[in-house]
Amino acid sequence: MAVLHAARGQDSKTLKTSMGKVRLEFVLDNEGRPTYSVAYGDKSVIKPSVMGFTLANDSPLDKSFIVLSSETTSVDETWKPVWGEVSSIRNHYNQVIVRLKQKNSPNRLMNIIFRVFEDGVGFRYEFPRQPNLKYFIVSNELTAFGLAGDHKTFWIPGDYDSNEYTYTTSKISEIDNRKVVEAAASIAVRVAPDPKAVQTPLMMKTADGLYINIHEAALVGFPAMQLHVDNSTYNLTANLVPDAVGNKAYVHAPFKTPWRTVIVSDKATDILASKLILNLNEPSKIKDPSWIKPMKFVGVWWEMQTGKGTWNYANDADTLDANGRLIPNGTHSANTANVKRYIDFAAANGIQGVLVEGWNVGWEDWFGNWKEHVFSFVTPYPDFDIDEITQYATSKGVKMIMHNETSGAATDYERQMDTAYRFMNKYGYTSVKTGYVGKIIPRGEHHDGQWMVDHYLRVAQKTADYHIMVDMHEPERPTGMQRTYPNWLASEAGRGNEYNAFAEGNLPEHETIMPFTRLMGGPMDYTPGIFKIKGYSTVPGRQVHTTLAKQLALYITMYSPLEMVADLPENYAKHMDAFQFIKDVAVDWDDSKILEAEPGDYITIVRKAKGTDNWFLGAITNENARNSNVSLDFLDKGRKYVATIYADADNADWKDNPEAYQINKYIVDANTKISLKLAKGGGTAISFMPATDAGKGLKHYK
Ligand code: NOJ
Ligand code: CA
């Protein structure tokens, strides 16, 4: 690390640094208030905006500061993630540390650390060890993001307990979440007391073509940051999720807050390619990550989501037979024979994992009672023969995936965690899907508050201790922590494909917004791959909002090292030609290129499978049909590839003809341009494999 400028004198109240087009300015105003602003070229991204905190048990840390010293350093390094969209990541930034001291007694210290990248800015607060600020309670974070105009915004409500909303696209001046929250009856717990609050990552587009994304990185020991919107000034302010008694965070100095992030570019594709959030996270704490393996998995799952079977073994927890046992209802999906059917399907198709939900006792009254002692994580239902299933899966080379739904009782889970993970070790389960449906216990805590943020981290750490990979449903939305805990493969923390099964669903535009919002912080267990699009529900008009070809493309556009192959084996059996793409597609990549993207409209991405020469393309559109031409210049020059194109049929349409697709094979090379033709709500998926003799006789693409 080269020190560019030495410490500055007390009177130096303005500090500037830049990287490429991104410029940051820090100013201590006349009242000694720290402020910052961000520009991109000649355009304002964040107007001068205040920083600081109010405390519950002390005077505010907002003004009367002097600059003690400052230091500018520069870093340019590359690092290799354990898994990811690319195999190596450049971390290139200029850093400014501003050391502040309040000039009045008790002369408390607060540092602000800025990092300026080519694609944005990150900053965090640091409270050094000091005699007069030791234990404190944050009542509010004052950080503001003063936007320069009434931007187009892609938002979900700032709900303390759920990220599972559909996105609204509106101007900042129009943001009001009340109607959205009210209408979202399919979300179990909704707590959004501030009608003007939105969740991050918040995606925006300015009238003059800048793309701006605000989020946070490395959320540790602090609540999640939501944003309060001022409809008339376009000023956004940090809204920390409170705890059960209304406080925001309990801090013991020395402490560093999470990074506040502003990613900016004049190209939408740069937003999706940004590694800023990952770069702001700490390197992996797992010394030997060789046991961490990205994978695809099937699951005894969609049948419960669509109502074909149940999680619960009996209909009533309190009605027992003469021997005091539960009375089986005959619809329990997690039974040994059915599980074996999924194991067979996985083994036959090279799918590594099988998830089984509803295997353990507790599901009869699991939800909505805000009670503890719901589930045992070591006690199977009588019709789930764990010994037989383990042995069968092992004989077929398939890994079983554990399911631990807590129904929000995090306390109960903490008591059982070691026992649960020892049980997984004993039966050879190397990964677990957790879940937090319902109101949280400790009662009064929220999914996104400090207590739960600490809890999810404990789960990531403890699973790592037991060499278990984890996929969390209903945690706080990710902030790049998968760099530090690469066993934390994925989270849901957003509105997944499952809403297309049990509720009104996700509009065709949904998957064109998610990579710009929820996925900015990390991979999502979205559960793509639904081939049977209609016919699950008796509610008129209810269906999956997609074409079949688009479901294939989601394996590329919705990046995750853990991808579910979510539909039922019998539905795949009808389209094994299209299923070939799911068999072939990778989940870990050497390289990724965002070819075209516009939030709310379309995304086209190509990725190169790790350790191979195979490329895969995914292109998706919203409710509008779309034609585009993509150049294959990412392929090796002078080499021939077989391209297998899985496209919407000419007459396909997400609503009226969703399962119509066509598959064509051609020879292509780096000079080829392919024209993509996406149906309304449709998509295209393509695999590119180096041509072998098998490719002889195929026509060159024209
Ligand atoms: C909600 C999760 O998102 C879903 O995937 C799971 O099946 C249910 N909870 C039950 O745990
Ligand atoms: Ca969920």
Say yes or no: CB of residue 494 within 6 Å of ligand 1: no
pLDDT above 80 for 8: no
CA of 72 to the centre of ligand 2 (A): 43
C-alpha triplet 656, 619, 198: angle, nearest 5° = 90
Residue 327's SS3 state is coil
CA of 552 to the centre of ligand 2 (A): 22
**CA pair distance 696, 98, nearest whole angstrom:** 64
Spell out the residues 6+ positions from residue 93 whose beta carbon is closer than 8 angstroms to its own. 19, 74, 75, 115, 116, 117, 279
Task: Give me the pLDDT at residue 541, please.
Answer: 87
Instruction: State percent of the chain over pLDDT 70.
Output: 98
> Facing residues of 562 across strands?
295
One-letter amino acid identity for 289?
Answer: P
Residue 28's SS3 state is strand
Residue 411's SS3 state is helix
Q: Check: pTM over 0.95? Answer yes or no.
A: yes
Residue 163: phi and psi, rounded to 5, are -110, 10
Say yes or no: CB of residue 437 within 6 Å of ligand 1: yes
As a dihedral over the C-alpha atoms of residue 387, residue 393, residue 394, residue 399, rounded to 10 degrees, the angle is -110
Instruction: State percent of the chain over pLDDT 90.
Output: 97
**CA pair distance 83, 483, nearest whole angstrom:** 9
Say yes or no: CB of residue 357 within 6 Å of ligand 1: yes
pLDDT above 60 for 385: yes
Q: What one-character DSSP code corresponds to residue 670?
A: T
Q: What ligand 1 atom has the least distance to the C-alpha of 473?
A: 3
Tens of pLDDT, residue by residue over 147-184, are 999 999 999 999 999 999 999 999 999 999 999 999 99
Buried b (16+ CB within 10 A) or exposed e, 34-55: bbbbbbbeebbbbbebbbbbbb
Give yes or no for a contact between 254 and 202, defined as CB atoms under 8 angstroms apart: no
C-alpha triplet 72, 74, 77: angle, nearest 5° = 155
User: Which pLDDT band, with edges at 50, 70 and 90, does 696 fall under?
Assistant: confident
pLDDT above 60 for 9: no
Task: Give me the pLDDT at residue 12, please.
Answer: 66
Give the number of whichever ligand sits closest to the CA of residue 187: 2
**CA pair distance 383, 335, nearest whole angstrom:** 5
Active site residues: 498
**CA pair distance 545, 554, nearest whole angstrom:** 13
Q: What ligand 1 atom has the least distance to the C-alpha of 474?
A: 3
- Return the H-helix or E-strand segment holding 304: helix 302-305
Give yes or no for a contact between 94 and 18, defined as CB atoms under 8 angstroms apart: yes
Find the radius of gyration of the CA atoms of the chain: 26
**CA pair distance 273, 299, nearest whole angstrom:** 31
**CA pair distance 191, 41, nearest whole angstrom:** 40
pLDDT above 70 for 7: no
Tens of pLDDT, residue by residue over 425-476, are 999 999 999 999 999 999 999 999 999 999 999 999 999 999 999 999 999 9
Strands (E), 259-379: 259-265, 295-300, 353-356
Tens of pLDDT, residue by residue over 49-94, are 999 999 998 999 999 999 999 999 999 999 999 999 999 999 999 9
- Return the H-helix or E-strand segment holding 510: helix 510-513
**CA pair distance 12, 100, nearest whole angstrom:** 12
Give yes or no for a contact between 501 and 476, defined as CB atoms under 8 angstroms apart: no
**CA pair distance 221, 170, nearest whole angstrom:** 33
pLDDT above 70 for 10: no
Residue nearest to atom 11 of ligand 1 (CA): 405
Average pLDDT, the chain: 97
Q: What ligand 1 atom has the least distance to the C-alpha of 301?
A: 7
One-letter amino acid identity for 590?
Answer: D
**CA pair distance 466, 468, nearest whole angstrom:** 5
CA of 301 to the centre of ligand 1 (A): 8
Residue nearest to atom 3 of ligand 1 (CA): 473
Output the CA–CA distances (angstroms, integers) from residue 445 to 20, 449, 460, 491, in the order listed.
43, 7, 20, 20
Best mutation site among 437, 499, 564 for ligand 1 pocket (most ligand atoms within 8 Å of CB)? 437
CA of 473 to the centre of ligand 1 (A): 7
Say yes or no: CB of residue 471 within 6 Å of ligand 1: no
What's the burial of 435, exposed, middle or buried (CB within 10 Å: 0-12/13-18/19+)?
buried
**CA pair distance 321, 431, nearest whole angstrom:** 35
Say yes or no: CB of residue 362 within 6 Å of ligand 1: no
CA of 515 to the centre of ligand 1 (A): 21
